[in-house]
Structure 1
Amino acid sequence: MSFCRGLAALAVIWTQVVLSPAWAWQHWGGDAGGTRFSPLAQITPGNVDKLVQAWAYHTGDMASRSPAAARRTKFEATPLLVEDSLVFCTPFNAVIALDPGTGAEKWRFDPKVGDGLRPANRYACRGVAYWVDQSAAVDAACRSRLFMGTVDARLIALDARTGRPCAGFGRDGEVRIDIAKDLLWAGEFQITSAPVVGRDVVVVGSSIGDNARVDAPAGIVRGFDARSGELRWNFDPLVHDGITAGHANVWAPMSVDEARGLVFLPTSSPSPDFFGGLRPGDNRHADSVVALRVENGTIAWSFQTTHHDVWDYDLPAQPTLARLDNGQGSRDVVIQPTKQGFVFVLDRDTGLPVWPVEERAVPQGAVEGERLSPTQPFPTHVPALLEQRFTPDDIFRPVPGFIDSSCDEQLAGLRNDGLYTPPTTQGTLLYPMTGGGVNWGGAAFDPVRQILYANVSRAVHIVRLIPRDQADRMTPPRGVDFGPQRGAPFAVTRTVAMSRLGLLCNRPPWGEMVAVDLRAGKIVWRSTVGTTEDRAPLGLAFKWGTPLVNGVLVTAGGLVFTGAMDAYLRAYDAGSGQELWQGRLPVPGVANPMTYEWDGQQYLVIAAGGHSEAGTTLGDSVVAFRLARDGEAPSWWSRTIDRPGGRFDGGAFLAAVFLVGLLGLAVWRRRKRRA
């Protein structure tokens, strides 16, 4: 590390630790800029194997709801540590405060969200926002507030100390969002990500069903007065001149720069996703990082990452606000990862790329009526976090000599010209898939090491446009995602390419954590995240990785933590990427972990509720870990990863037995066919 970078590191530590001794996780992304970095350093690579489960709490969501509603949940919340409580929301928008040391419930608020909404993006609430009214008396009710958007389109304000609704906010503590359009069904419009607050304005996005219709509800972002709930401004990301489209909404988490008075929006694709013939042009300000002046909702700048999107390559992740040493001095930047695996680094004041972004020619020749952009933006300095082309050599064949032809059959005949191959009626191979690359969990940035950490997913989507006359008569096959795209000349089907064995058709790893040196423009390390233990017969733990929509946490202690689609919280060495520890969870923790200090001990917490869209086991737990105290020993909840040359790996043995069994089955089938 150079002398200047060393001084910068000391400045960060001084600011975050010395000047802020009571640092706490008070924002969804750790801080208002979403760096997901904690200056806490009690847990290190040297003692992480001493972690034990401190406590576990069950929300009661699963038992208190109808089975049909409970099966449509995603527990994706990141708790906050505010007002001496650990506060989070459940998939049904109950807000709960726990004792940080014991996990005992302190209070609960239930907004009575109904079971029968059928929300487009499942029952989900990723978090709440915290705000303190500096003009109110210290002991005034609702001086400190929690704001939450709900699945049934409400913005709710609660006293952060008691959980009681703030009477002066809207009507009895809530504002109903004016959608200004009749919904096709209850749940077509919802709010899933946490609001943000800047300069006394609460900013709220929305999650809207993507492919139901062209004339979908508008993706308006709204700013409300944090004290009264009065609407201050509206911002529609789409410029509607000459186009017919619904939303380019902001469903992912947002970021705030309080000093600059800016809120940063990751906007989505226009509706519908896979046909844009009725919305010619680049579709400003869809698929963009948009910086708004938080007090009035006007645009400060906008940078588009995908022109005229017909691939559902919207921005799914919180823009990360960081101070970056780019080799020519430090500057404030916005770091935006994408589903394609790109990382755009933009100047925070102007929105201009810190390093060159090239407009490169991309595949053309779309369906009739479509007008594609001839080029797309490609970052040149920071490499893509995953490969962006799929070939027949990339098909996964887990057993040598055993050919499961189902993947070959599915992928044969599809158009596949690499990244940005347009949707077609013959079928298009889309890689990375629409849920690939980096998703809503976002990235973490270590300001001392100047390293970006992110989870990425790999899978193949098969996208096929269905002409309207056929679409109106068809019954979608089971297991196929069908988007009617009413009002467009084509409907769409989407299928994740999987073999008859239930395995993804692309080679593992299916989920990875990637560390990127932004200044040098290089990948530092990659580490596979997750195994098949909780999905395969006999608990076989093939280290193939799992899809990773959730994000990571990085600490000054030199560790990176993440959950996965299997039931473990994991710790990795921030410098090398070596997996060091696993903490067993009741069900998968498909949420972002967080950390805090309480009574002199550092805790790690993750919501463990599974993921209904991924078909995992579901639950309603919040689980905390800490270092063992005197006399405590790690239990089965916590285990150290075997080092090379360590003890016998029984999982590998069982995996070998399983593969031999598959090979034997293949030989038997061939002999039977010949007979």
Structure 2
Amino acid sequence: MPRRPPFALTCLIVGLAVPSLAAPPTRHGSEDLSQWSAYGGDAGGNRYADARQINRDNVDQLEVAWTYRTGELGAGFKRAGKLTFETTPILVNGSLYLSTPTNIVIALDPEAGRERWRFDPKTPRDLPYSEATSRGVSSWIDEASPPDAPCAHRIFIGTLDARLIGLDGRTGQLCASFGDGGTVDLTRGIRITERGNYLVSSPPAIYGDLVITGSAVGDNGAVELERGIVRAFDARTGLQRWAWDPIPSDTDADLAARGWTAAAAKRTGAANAWSVLSIDEGRGLVFVPTGSPSPDFFGGERLGDNRYANSLVALRASDGKVVWHQQLVHHDVWDYDVASQPLLIDMEREGKSIAAVVQATKTGMLFVFDRETGEPVFPIIERSVPASDVAGESTAPTQPFPATPALVSHAAVTPNDAWGLTFYDRGRCRDLIEQYRSEGIFTPPSVKGSIMSPGYAGGVNWGSLAFDAQRQLVIAAVNNVPMVVTLIPRDDFDAKRSGDWPHSEFARQQGTPYGMRREPLLSPLGLPCTPPPWGTLAAVDLKRNTIRWQTMLGSTRGKTPWFVPPATLGMPNMGGPIATAGGLIFIAATTDDYLRAFDIETGRELWKSRLPAGGQATPMSYELNGRQYVVIAAGGHGGLGTTRGDYVVAFALPKA
């Protein structure tokens, strides 16, 4: 029988609308606001369902209520192996809306899972997209239009070929008044270097009558790449209302203050916001998490701190002007993008309520800021970090560390940490660790190879956080798999790209003296060379600024040799948690294809159910006609090597 990809591969984390069933009448107003109306549950990314029918006493009775199949398995797609089904459905006006990895938008009956309409934007399948996913869609209701008017309710999606599309929420038809017949070309005004390298993978944010979107950029190929400009468009007409570029122009007066030179500002690309933006409607702010400038692992062509890259930036939502910002990684050469959606919460601190924003990072840190001023709620200390030994590079001498508890170890990986199933395994891991540079977090890439711990997958990635306001608990899914990054002198690069590195990913980093190779730090059996857990679920108590609990997330099922029985050791994960009023956390995300429920008070696993494919997505939950549902996309993840499929699965308690 065919063998699944070895565990090594799990760490390379690196149209026409066809109505089928009539949709219910469109309703205006806020009746769906507690019913998962945005990708993160709400505009602030709380991922909290105010539903309590399913609770700690009865969660073990959950059963499949319905299953829907999208039919999208990547046929004819040039990089079908990269497809990842990461969507989280939203519930608005009585319909569930979701997207496939190829941007097909689907509306479902939330009670039975029947298809109401389907729109295929005909995303070209012959392009080598740097990513192949869509995390979902966004909803906008035109309060100035009659509820039954065409496109009074609009569904927006950004596509792999960089279009922003507006659809009628009732019928799935293109909204002709938006852009050019329903579509805005996002490549206009962007320096495009390669088709398929500039795309949209996350749903846009909605503020008033604005649709605000970032972009995903394949940022390892070269210095001169697409720039990560964030733009706002009129939700009715599609006209651009403002644009904000995290990289300054080469003539800006504050170049030096922002850690840029004129030459670097002109050439460098990326620093893009590829993850989900958050909106504070009352304060008129959009919170933007930005990524690293290009290329990821060598910064000699962009010396300086490179602000506003790798930052949390608060923009005035009406015009895109910077209100405040905090850089979370200076001069990034580790691919430590700010990948998690900013979490907007009201927290209790020393007897006061603070409107705060919590930003999780791939470094496994939690930064907490006052939403209005940007001042740290918990102190941030600049600590000395290792310096680069690579010619032409100059890394930042310090990096910011918050006074919140770290979710992963930042210590150096040493030969004494070598782990394996056998004596042979451990010995080979010890030899591997000895040959690399390893000085703890922020060890810079090197020609001999450097161990990055945590690796570039996190820490906390795009799965983001969930928040229980009553308990003041932040919930995070965490990765803890060290990676190795090696810089390869330009003249040697082509020769080094050989079959000797079957688990490696290469990038040219054109315009620099070095190419790059990266891979997970693995034993000959394909398991990490460091002790488990390699993935955890953690609860951070913001009142006490402590980790309430941290538990292993995921088992080795399907990832170990046949003679080793599966064990719950904590596995790499992609996807996020949700919390519910029933005192539960639901999460899939790991490599063993299970959806699990945990007790939010203790972290104890209470229930799990095997999914028909990998659940590398964040679930959502809602109540309808007296029944609570938990819904998750299960389609697998190309990079993690999980079971592929096209399923959307809803769970509920048995009918009375």
Q: TM-score, normalised by structure 2?
A: 0.90
- Cα offsets for 1:66-95 (capped at 9, x unmatched): 275432200000000112111100001000
SS in 2 for 1:405: helix
Listed as ranges, the matches of 1:515-594 within 5 Å are 515-537=539-561, 540-563=565-588, 564-594=590-620
- Residue in 2 aligned with 1:433? 455
**Matched-pair contact (CA < 8 Å) for 1:566–1:587:** no
Listed as ranges, the matches of 1:655-666 within 5 Å are none
- Residue in 1 aligned with 2:252? none
> How high is the sequence identity, in percent, across the aligned residues?
46
Say yes or no: does 1:379 pair with 2:407.
no
Q: CA deviation at 1:491?
A: 1.1
Larger Rg: 1
Q: CA deviation at 1:405?
A: 3.3
Q: CA deviation at 1:458?
A: 1.0
Q: CA deviation at 1:395?
A: 2.1
RMSD of aligned residue pairs (Cα, Å) = 1.6
SS in 2 for 1:78: coil
Residue in structure 2 matching 1:260, options 251, 261, 283: 283
**Matched-pair contact (CA < 8 Å) for 2:33–2:42:** no
Distance 1:53 1:430, change over 3 A: same
Q: CA deviation at 1:498?
A: 1.4
- Cα offsets for 1:344-369 (capped at 9, x unmatched): 00000011101110111111143111
**Matched-pair contact (CA < 8 Å) for 1:199–1:261:** no
Residue in structure 1 matching 2:97, options 82, 87, 91: 87
- Residue in 2 aligned with 1:625? 651
- Residue in 1 aligned with 2:486? 464
- Residue in 2 aligned with 1:607? 633
Structure 1: tracts of 5 or more residues without a match: 1-18, 631-675
- Residue in 2 aligned with 1:118? 128
Report which stretch shifted further, 569-578 or 111-120.
111-120
Distance 1:327 1:469, change over 3 A: same
Distance 1:363 1:537, change over 3 A: closer
Say yes or no: does 1:36 pair with 2:58.
no
- Cα offsets for 1:1-29 (capped at 9, x unmatched): xxxxxxxxxxxxxxxxxx96872110000
Residue in structure 1 matching 2:175, options 161, 166, 175: 166
SS in 2 for 1:423: coil
Listed as ranges, the matches of 1:321-470 within 5 Å are 321-380=344-403, 382-389=404-411, 390-399=413-422, 401-470=423-492
Q: CA deviation at 1:470?
A: 1.6
2:312 partner letter: V
SS in 2 for 1:71: helix
Report which stretch shifted further, 496-505 or 512-521.
496-505
Higher helix fraction: Structure 1 or Structure 2?
1
SS in 2 for 1:124: coil
Say yes or no: does 1:496 pair with 2:510.
no
Distance 1:182 1:474, change over 3 A: farther
- Residue in 1 aligned with 2:114? 104
Residue in structure 2 matching 1:250, options 260, 263, 273: 273
- Residue in 1 aligned with 2:17? none
Q: Report how many residues are paired.
A: 608
Say yes or no: does 1:226 pair with 2:251.
no
SS in 1 for 2:431: helix
Q: CA deviation at 1:537?
A: 4.8
Report which stretch shifted further, 529-538 or 515-524.
529-538
Residue in structure 1 matching 2:62, options 51, 60, 84: 51
Say yes or no: does 1:134 pair with 2:156.
no
Distance 1:247 1:142, change over 3 A: same
Q: Distance in 2 between matches of 1:395 and 1:559?
A: 36
- Cα offsets for 1:215-267 (capped at 9, x unmatched): 01111111111110001111111235412411100011110011111110000
Q: Distance in 1 between matches of 2:31 and 2:354?
A: 22
- Residue in 2 aligned with 1:6? none
Q: Distance in 1 between matches of 2:199 and 2:428?
A: 37
**Matched-pair contact (CA < 8 Å) for 1:223–1:231:** yes
SS in 1 for 2:639: helix
- Residue in 2 aligned with 1:294? 317
**Matched-pair contact (CA < 8 Å) for 1:441–1:552:** yes
Q: Distance in 1 between matches of 2:458 and 2:195?
A: 28
Q: CA deviation at 1:183?
A: 4.1
Q: TM-score, normalised by structure 1?
A: 0.88
Q: Distance in 1 between matches of 2:310 and 2:279?
A: 19
Q: CA deviation at 1:404?
A: 4.4
Q: Distance in 2 between matches of 1:540 and 1:172?
A: 56
Q: CA deviation at 1:510?
A: 1.1
- Residue in 2 aligned with 1:25? 36
2:482 partner letter: V
Residue in structure 1 matching 2:326, options 303, 306, 315: 303
SS in 2 for 1:74: coil
Q: Distance in 2 between matches of 1:534 and 1:585?
A: 14
**Matched-pair contact (CA < 8 Å) for 1:71–1:618:** no
Q: Distance in 1 between matches of 2:147 and 2:232?
A: 26
**Matched-pair contact (CA < 8 Å) for 1:366–1:372:** no
Structure 2: tracts of 5 or more residues without a match: 1-29, 250-254, 256-260
Q: Distance in 1 between matches of 2:31 and 2:65?
A: 26
**Matched-pair contact (CA < 8 Å) for 2:415–2:431:** no
**Matched-pair contact (CA < 8 Å) for 1:239–1:283:** no
**Matched-pair contact (CA < 8 Å) for 2:425–2:523:** no
Q: Distance in 1 between matches of 2:100 and 2:236?
A: 24
Q: Distance in 1 between matches of 2:390 and 2:608?
A: 48
1:451 partner letter: L
Say yes or no: does 1:192 pair with 2:201.
yes
2:48 partner letter: F
SS in 2 for 1:333: strand
Distance 1:540 1:184, change over 3 A: farther
- Cα offsets for 1:287-343 (capped at 9, x unmatched): 000011111111111110011111111101000000000123001000000001000
Q: Distance in 2 between matches of 1:333 and 1:403?
A: 46
- Residue in 2 aligned with 1:652? none
SS in 2 for 1:466: strand
Q: Distance in 2 between matches of 1:56 and 1:365?
A: 52
Q: Distance in 2 between matches of 1:593 and 1:372?
A: 39
Q: Distance in 2 between matches of 1:348 and 1:544?
A: 37
Report which stretch shifted further, 492-501 or 177-186.
177-186
- Residue in 1 aligned with 2:18? none
SS in 1 for 2:368: strand
Q: Distance in 2 between matches of 1:119 and 1:365?
A: 32
Q: CA deviation at 1:536?
A: 3.3
Q: Distance in 1 between matches of 2:513 and 2:31?
A: 57
